[in-house]
């Protein structure tokens, strides 16, 4: 079930409520009792579960080989920047 955010226009009280999408929006503020609750628009959140969702799930096996320019030169130009895997 989604979590909806509400704010009372009268007293400024904010709350989060877990409701079905088919439920009617709340109107009465639990803090002051006035029928001035308004549903806020907020970003939805979700949690990915299982395998295949993360970068680490796809890593493994062979490592990438260094570029050919690093293999042929005695002092590769990328060794100065630390970007060359052969310089490690």
pLDDT in tens, 73-83: 555 566 556 66
pLDDT at residue 3, rounded to an integer: 87
pLDDT at residue 37, rounded to an integer: 96
pLDDT at residue 41, rounded to an integer: 87
Residue 78 in 3-state DSSP? helix
pLDDT at residue 42, rounded to an integer: 79
Flag whether 66 is in a domain. Answer: no
pLDDT at residue 87, rounded to an integer: 46
Local structure of residue 79 (DSSP, 8 states): G
Flag whether 17 is in a domain. Answer: yes
- Residue 16 structural domain: 3-39
Report the predicted TM-score, pTM, of the whole model to 2 decimal places. Answer: 0.49
Domain count, the chain: 1
Long-range contacts of 53-57 (CB under 8 A, 24+ apart): none
Distances (CA, A) of 47 to 1, 41, 66: 13, 19, 36
Flag whether 29 is in a domain. Answer: yes
Give the residue ranges of the chain where pLDDT is below 50. Answer: 87-88
Flag whether 70 is in a domain. Answer: no
């Amino acid at each position: 079930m989604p979590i909806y955010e509400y704010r009372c226009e009268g007293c400024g009280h904010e709350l989060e409520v877990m409701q079905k999408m088919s439920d009617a929006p709340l109107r009465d503020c639990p803090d002051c009792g006035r029928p001035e609750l308004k549903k806020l628009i907020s970003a939805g959140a979700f949690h990915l579960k299982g395998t295949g969702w993360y970068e680490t799930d796809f890593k493994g096996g062979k490592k990438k080989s260094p570029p050919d320019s690093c293999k042929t030169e005695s002092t590769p130009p990328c060794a100065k920047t630390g970007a060359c895997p052969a310089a490690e």
